[in-house]
Amino acid sequence: MVRVVVVAVPGAGKTTILKKLLEKVSDLKVVNFGDYMFEEAKKGFGISDRDEMRKKLKPRDYKFLQEKAAEAIAKLDGDLIIDTHAVIKTSFGYYPGLPSRVVEILNPDAIVVLEFRPEDILQRRLKDLKAEEGVKRLREIEKVEDVQEHQELGREMAMAAANHVCCYFACFKYLEPQKYPYQHAEEAASALAEIVEKFREAERG
């Protein structure tokens, strides 16, 4: 079974990329780590939406939910793409999305970081906020420098996680302006598809 963890900052367009990946690779399942955490948070902590997890939960409770989610995902069969974040920005500061115990439980074959132009990420976040909640949260939009810092920290955290469990690490950067819509999404999906197929070939011997 192939296990690949894919990480990027919020607003990177990872959901679109992974949808395109599924169009390219058969018999592959994408699981969202945050969805598994949210289900546990609803049951155990009365959390009603995803934002509350990072804003209201204490660090020890967040860690507990991460481990419960990892345990549930580790039990799944088949080839998996695990969609998550390498580092989470919280009211307490940055928090590791792949702490030692979690990455040990997941035991991935590879951790892949996707990085994009901060300007594109900010534009995507702004569009999402307008679509979901109007202007009341626009003040939460970060600066280009903040996004750049977040991406750099995520890369470092992902490298540390890969080192901890001795798995492969890759980082794909898409920092030039797109020449056509969804160019970066298509290229990232193709890069991920190539990684999955290489691991499948290795398993077949």
> Could you tell me what percent of the chain has a pLDDT over 70?
94
Report the C-alpha gap between 9 and 158 in whole angstroms. 12
Q: Given the structure tokens 């499948």, which residue do they identify?
A: 200
Q: What CA–CA distances, in Å, run from 156 to 100, 123, 148, 152?
A: 14, 24, 13, 6
The pLDDT value given to residue 197: 97
Which residues does 132 contact at the CB level (< 8 Å), separation at least 6?
none
pLDDT of residue 50: 80
Residue 157: its pLDDT value, please?
Answer: 98
Domains and CATH numbers, the chain: 3-27+82-204 (3.40.50.300)
Q: For position 92, what pLDDT does the model report? A: 80
Q: How confident is the chain (205 residues) per 10-residue block, as mean pLDDT?
A: 97 96 96 95 88 80 95 98 95 91 99 97 82 53 90 98 99 97 98 98 91
In DSSP terms, 111 is beta-bridged to 5, 169
- When computed from its CA atoms, the radius of gyration of the chain, rounded to whole angstroms, is 17
Q: What is the pLDDT of residues 107-153, one digit of tens each?
A: 999 999 999 999 999 988 888 776 555 444 554 668 899 999 999 99
Q: How far apart are CA 204 and CA 199, in angstroms?
A: 9
Please, what is the Cα angle at 107 between 174 and 78, to 5 degrees? 85
The pLDDT value recorded for residue 136 is: 47
pLDDT for residue 140: 61
